[in-house]
Amino acid sequence: MAVEFGQAEREFLARHCTNLDRRVFALRDLPQVVCGALFSRYSRSPEGLRRVLVDEFWRQPDLGLRGGEVDRERAEDFYRRVLVGYGDDSVAELASAHLAVEDVSNLAAKELERSRIGISPLEKSTRYVRFDIPGPDGRPRYYRGPELAHPAYEPAMDGLFATYATLFPEVLERVRREHPREEDESERAWRSATRARALDLLRGLLPAATLTNLGLHGNGRAFERLLVRLAASQLPECRILASEMHAELLQVIPAFVQRAFDERHGRPTAEYLARGQQRAAALVPQAASTTVEPRGVRLVSFDRDAERRVAAAALYPHSDLPLAELEAREVDVGAVLEALMGERRNRRQPVPRALEHATYTFELTANFGAYRDLQRHRMLTQERQLLGCELGYDLPADLVGYGMADRFLAALEEAAAAQRAIARDLGPVLAQYAVPFAFRVRWYVRLNLRELYHLCELRTGPQGHPDYRWLAQEMFRQVREVHPRLCSQARFVDLGPGAELERRSSERRLDQRLARAYNCYGSSM
């Protein structure tokens, strides 16, 4: 392969391709816009990528690649010209950015994490980070946008954070007393596991207004879509975020997010989305007043033909029958599933796509803390109702045992009163900011069996937060009730009781990994 290039071309290619003569190679040290344009051209060329790189990019005096330094603006221009001839939005997936978004409310964070394809979020953890560390102004870190000017808001939010701050050392001390360090446990592992438990117990005090930080890694197309969705939001905070995020993305992948707010694409789409939501809201039948509702999982609907469909889908690639005919045949579902998954050794070994032919709709009622966790699953359809305080709250039993429930509840009650006053005066959308994580929310989840395996095997692990662990266990139990054979291969769902200290065994395993890593460094240094 390499012989087709002259000496200067080979030197250039060696800088930007991981090899010159094999059929698999990676690009390096090229701006994303050049990689994006290069791949776009590649898909329309009979030549290999190295040839396209040399002929259409290296030889382009415009791009400045010959000197080794790329002229970014010209590269952007070039990409736009390539795009004109392409006509498919997928080329906007060819560049990505790492975007940090700081000091946003949890309400806005959930909007940022809503994307399903193309964006990977990571958010500050309520299990490992204390949320009572004040901001630069010495005040607790919660959202205080001008739209929330209401006399009840800040006193209630200050009260929640003050309670969190006072209770944390007390709860930690009690947790450590109840769960003393075990003989074979390191000081680090014990401190970390007990601290995580204390923070888990108190997270219900945090309001949806709590500020958090997120890292988003995503491609241009997904960011563009996210920006448009944020621009259509009812929350002013999200609309402001949309323009702030756009301004930063324009500095790193401008060609890929250029349409987010233009008059032809982005703006009309945001307006279309916003108006649609308004019109739909006006059509809601008059609801009966909501009353306190216990946490719960309800399997609303499932497919009675699921076994037949899954078995047919599993055999389809090995058969020459049309799908409908395969579905009509008598097949031993258990044997098919055993053949495909009988040797599965851990939850990371994937289950077949055939399981996607069975779907389930659940309605969940649980505290907002648990919703925050499960909302992160992207391979499903879920929508929540507005946060409020009518459905009641969850009080961790340990806090009652420690005699600390009164202070926890007093802060929740004050926040609930503020939420009601804000809902009355400013509307229920803005009142969501005042709702602590302990209060319950209703949402639906529609997912297929393959995602159910993933979610339930991951979320029933004993190290998980008990609130979401219970939900995942219950979802699995209800599906197993209606489809026992389809669930028979979900061997890594843990329906047992929780660990007495959730993070204890994970921290021990971390100790072992750290020891291995240090030994490894030790021997090589």
Ligand X SMILES: Cc1cc2nc3c(=O)[nH]c(=O)nc-3n(C[C@H](O)[C@H](O)[C@H](O)COP(=O)(O)OP(=O)(O)OC[C@H]3O[C@@H](n4cnc5c(N)ncnc54)[C@H](O)[C@@H]3O)c2cc1C
Q: What is the binding site for ligand X (CB under 6 A)? A: 120-123, 125, 376-379, 451, 454, 458, 463-464
Closest approach of ligand X to the CB of residue 215, in Å? 8
CA distances from 242 to 104, 154, 266, 433 (A): 12, 25, 12, 19
CB of 320 to ligand X, least distance (A): 31
User: CB of 130: closest distance to ligand X in angstroms?
Assistant: 14
**Rounded Cα distance, 391 and 9, in Å:** 68
Sign of torsion, CA 313 318 321 326?
negative
Toward ligand X, which CB reaches closer, 154 or 494? 494
* Residue 284 CB, nearest approach to ligand X (Å): 29
Q: How far is the CB of 381 from ligand X (least distance, A)?
A: 11
Q: Which is nearer to ligand X, 71 or 89 (CB)?
A: 89
Least Å distance between CB 494 and ligand X?
12
**Residue 100 or 283 with smaller CB distance to ligand X:** 100
Secondary structure element (H or E) that encloses residue 267, with its range: helix 266-282
Give me the amino acid identity at 225: R
Type of residue at 377: H
- Distant-in-sequence contacts of 178-187, Cβ < 8 A, 24+ apart: 179/500, 179/501, 179/504, 184/508, 185/504, 185/507, 185/508, 186/508, 186/511
**Of the two residues 125 and 519, which places its CB atom closer to ligand X in the complex?**
125
For ligand X, give the closer residue by CB, 143 or 468.
468
With respect to ligand X, which residue has the nearer C-beta, 81 or 130?
Answer: 130
Instruction: For residue 215, report the phi and psi dihedrals to the nearest 5 degrees.
Output: -110, 130
Q: Tell me if residue 149 falls in helix, strand or coil.
A: coil
Q: Which two tokens stand for residue 389?
A: 């305080």
Contact 474, 430 (CB under 8 A): no
Which of 232, 265, 226, 264 is CA-nearest to residue 246? 226
State in angstroms the smallest separation of the CB of 379 from ligand X.
Answer: 4
Residue 251 CA to its chain's centroid (Å): 25
d(CA 403, CA 173): 13
In sequence order, which residues have a C-beta less than 8 Å from that of residue 315 and are 6 or more positions away? 326, 331, 336
CA distance 492 to 456: 8
E strand or H helix that includes residue 406? helix 405-426
Q: Which is nearer to ligand X, 76 or 123 (CB)?
A: 123
Distance CA 364, CA 475 (A): 9
Pick 338 or 356: Cβ nearer ligand X:
356
CB 349, min distance to ligand X, A: 12
Structure tokens at 132: 């009572």
In the complex, the smallest distance separating the C-beta of residue 237 from ligand X, rounded to whole angstroms, is 19
Nearer to ligand X, 124 or 239 (CB): 124
* Least distance between ligand X and beta carbon 267 (Å): 27
> Of 414 and 451, which CB lies nearer to ligand X in the complex structure?
451
Kindly tell me which of 123 and 394 has the beta carbon lying closer to ligand X: 123
Q: Please, which residue, 159 or 466, has the CB nearer to ligand X?
A: 466
DSSP strand E in 39-179: where? 96-105, 119-123
Interhelix angle for 187-202 vs 504-524, to 10°? 140
Shortest Cβ 318–ligand X spacing (Å): 25
d(CA 36, CA 95): 6
User: How far, rounded to the nearest angstrom, does the alpha carbon of residue 65 sit from its chain's CA centroid?
Assistant: 38
d(CA 95, CA 218): 8
Cα gap 143→434, rounded to integer Å: 10
Q: How far is the CB of 299 from ligand X (least distance, A)?
A: 19
Q: Which is nearer to ligand X, 93 or 390 (CB)?
A: 93
Across the strands, what pairs with 207?
Answer: 436
| Residue 170 CB burial class (10 angstroms; 0-12, 13-18, ≥19) | middle
Cβ of residue 109: shortest distance to ligand X, in angstroms?
Answer: 9
